[in-house]
A = this chain, B = another copy of it.
Amino acid sequence: MALNAIRALLFDVFGTVVDWRASLVREGRALTANRGLEVDWAKFADAWRAGYRPAMERVRRGELAWMNIDQLHRLILDELLPRFGIHGLAEAEIDALNRAWHRLRPWPDAVRGLKRLKSKFIIATLSNGNISLLTEMAKHAGLPWDCILSAELFKRYKPDPQTYLSACALLGARPEETLMVAAHEDDLAAARAQGLRTAFVRRPREFGHPSGYSLPHDKGFDVVADDFNHLAEQLGA
């Protein structure tokens, strides 16, 4: 693979860089501990995440006007609270819970791996998360991005082709000089269709069930890595 032309790395974030599920469970438990509420926060986290794609698709189809991810998360959260029997939270508490996504914790290898990769490449996010979410997450988790790029800048969500091309253009890199890094095949396939290079990172615990996890079906990715340090090794960083 001619990966020596790579200058910039674009990272998917939810699931690829941060462990959204364990982070949400931790935040949820802290919220309900003092109230004696019984909530299955793992189920809650899964439902919250599951609501995200249909909500985003409604924006992508034009059924909903542009909303950023904070707004979509809140839309879903307002439906989930009664469904999970959570009542009586003050507006400030609901808002703070919604912002749990700003405080997601990185996978154990992520910060060290990103620092290694940063020493050789420009490293940037390319997430559907909004800029303030990604900025606060980076500050909270110590993620050393060179630049924070988001679907919010283009008012189009991944996997819209324009998100990948616009991100490359902003970084001054051609698609073939750019490596999209993600734990999700659909994201990488969409990036590849626009001429970007692709790196699949295995995150078998993203949905909490490592036993059901399998390698990608798609065999056409330029790199397959077990974590960010393994990615750095393969890229000579």
Residues of A within 8 A of B (CB): 70, 122, 124, 130-136, 138-139, 146-148, 152-153, 170-173
Contacts and interface: CB of A to CB of B under 8 A. Distances in A.
Nearest to A149: B131
Given A122-B139, A139-B122, A131 B152 contact: no
A206 B130 CA distance: 35
A135 B122 contact: yes
Contact of A153 (B124, B134, B153): B153
Chief secondary structure at chain A's binding surface? helix
Nearest to A167: B131
A234 B147 CA distance: 28
23 contacts: A70-B172, A122-B135, A122-B139, A124-B135, A130-B170, A130-B172, A131-B147, A131-B170, A131-B171, A131-B172, A132-B171, A132-B172, A132-B173, A135-B146, A135-B171, A136-B172, A138-B146, A139-B146, A147-B148, A148-B148, A152-B170, A153-B153, A153-B170
A70 to B, nearest CB: 8
A136 B7 CA distance: 11
A70 B148 CA distance: 20
Nearest to A171: B132
Contacts of A138: 146
Give the 3 A-B residue pairs with the shortest CB-CB distance, closest first. A132-B172, A131-B170, A135-B147
Contacts of A133: 172
A147 B148 CA distance: 6
A134 to B, nearest CB: 8
Contacts of A153: 153, 170
Contact of A170 (B132, B139, B171): B132
Q: Which among A132, A136, A173 has the greatest number of chain B C-beta atoms within 10 A?
A: A132
Contacts of A146: 135, 138-139
A131 B173 CA distance: 11
A179 B156 CA distance: 29
Contacts of A122: 135-136, 139
Contacts of A135: 122, 124, 146-147, 171
